[in-house]
Amino acid sequence: MIVIAGAVIGAFLGYLRAAKAGGNGFDRAQYAAVYAIGLALLGLLITLIADRMMRGG
């Protein structure tokens, strides 16, 4: 769930950042994709850390 939320939030933030900078549709899509991937990876890391903490390892 954290990974999916990170991807969705990242896509939204990336789109907004490109729109604020005056980017065209391709720029907005690229920023959305990069931010989505980045925050999804961060969410994956958080998920792995939380899982290890819960298992005691």
Global pTM value: 0.89
Q: What are the boundaries of each domain within the chain?
A: 2-55
Q: Residue 29 is encoded by which pair of tokens?
A: 């899509």
Q: How far apart are CA 57 and CA 4, in angstroms?
A: 25
pLDDT band (50, 70, 90) for residue 57: low
Q: How far apart are CA 38 and CA 35, in angstroms?
A: 5
Instruction: Provide the b/e sequence for 12-33 (b: ≥16 CB within 10 Å).
Output: ebbbebbeeeeeeeebbeebbe
What interhelical angle do 2-20 and 25-55 show, nearest 10? 150
pLDDT tens digits along 1-46: 899 999 999 999 999 999 999 999 999 999 999 999 999 999 999 9
